[in-house]
Amino acid sequence: MRLFFSCIIKLMIAVIFISTGFSVVTADTKIDLFEKLLAYHQYKRPPSSDDWLSHHPEPGQTFADYIKENPTVPDEIRQIIYIALLGSFDKTREKIIKQTVKYMEAYFGKEIRFIDPIPLSVIPESAKRNHPFWHDPQILTTYVIEDVLKPKLPDDAFCLIAFTASDLWPGEGWNFVFGQASIENRLGVWSIYRNGIPSKSEEDYKLCLLRTIKTGTHEVGHMFGLQHCIFFECNMNGSNHLGESDQRPVWLCPVCLKKLQWAGHFDVMDRYKRLEKLSGKLGFNKEAAFFRQIIRDDITQ
């Protein structure tokens, strides 16, 4: 009950910041796009007992909080989002990687490049385990981030994220994670392991692809300094289990989009057009319809 109350308070704060903060921060845009976008988004529903916020109560990060935190953003030198493929992938999952990269480029408005693939043999036995009950082989996220990726961060990288088919766990007390990011180091890792079997059917393929895109964009979103969203149903919501991840939309709420736009300087409507086109092409009908509605309403008028 206390958590629910706290969410309501934060929600009110979010609305206040959206309606007052926009013109101050993006002086070159005359129309209050983010305020208009509120009408297309659902407020965050109260968490159920096994959802992320019930286990990890978080204060939320308003736009004003974000600016105050002085987040690392792309600059003239560090512009590229790099991906490191960690371990091997079958043909179907290789196709998923290609489509995910295209979606991520549209999502962030940044170029994505690969560094040389990294074999799983770089992970020592001390950073591997079999899950104590489920027996899934897992690799330790903190080792991947600190020991494998850190020395490989290219000079022109805004961030570097590893992608793997292995299951991930972040250390003592955790069962698994879909992905993890280190905001301060601009490094992260995400996994396709728990996203289903894409070769099973066309529907399974689409679901696996969408899950992969959601986690990849969520983790890279963290590297832009975005913390978990507690205000709206949003891709930056924390997620404790697959059902909760599947409920989370691929799109960003107006609070999180405003942060990303401040960091990335992209044209919001051009981004919606890119995402609508790609979502339609990939068969993400619900997502394409969401973006199309905003484009059709032409909220810049």
> Interface with Zn ion by CB under 5 A: which residues?
229, 234, 236, 253, 256
Q: What is the smallest separation between the CB atom of 228 and Zn ion, expressed in angstroms?
A: 6
**What is the closest distance, in whole angstroms, from the C-beta atom of residue 91 to Zn ion in the complex?**
30
Report which of 64, 55, 100, 54 is spatially closest to residue 81, judged by C-alpha positions. 100
Considering the complex, what minimum distance in angstroms separates the CB of residue 261 from Zn ion?
13
255 in Cβ contact with 17 (< 8 Å): yes
Q: Angle 202-223/91-108 helices, nearest 10 degrees? A: 40
Catalytically annotated residue among 35, 172, 203, 219: 219
The residue (of 56 and 281) whose beta carbon lies closer to Zn ion is 56
Tokens of 20: 């007052």
Distance of closest approach, residue 126 Cβ to Zn ion, in angstroms: 26
Q: First-to-last CA distance in the chain?
A: 41
C-alpha distance from residue 275 to each of 37, 41, 107 (Å): 16, 17, 7
Q: Which parts of 127-251 are beta strand (E)? A: 128-130, 137-140, 157-164, 167-169, 179-182, 187-191
Least spacing, CB of residue 182 vs Zn ion, in Å: 11
Q: What is the torsional sign of CA 194, 168, 69, 269?
A: negative
* Choice between 10 and 93, CB closer to Zn ion: 10
| Minimum distance from residue 7 beta carbon to Zn ion (Å) | 13
CB 179 within 8 A of CB 195: no
Vertex 31 angle, CA 30 and 34, to 5°: 130
User: Measured from the CB atom, is 41 or 274 closer to Zn ion?
Assistant: 41
Are the beta carbons of 251 and 287 closer than 8 angstroms?
Answer: yes
Nearest to 286 by CA among 298, 276, 272: 276
Cβ-based nearer residue to Zn ion, 145 or 205: 145
Active site annotation includes 219: yes
Measured from the CB atom, the residue of 34 and 205 that comes closer to Zn ion is: 34
User: 42 vs 201, which CB is nearer to Zn ion?
Assistant: 42
- Residues with active-site annotation: 219
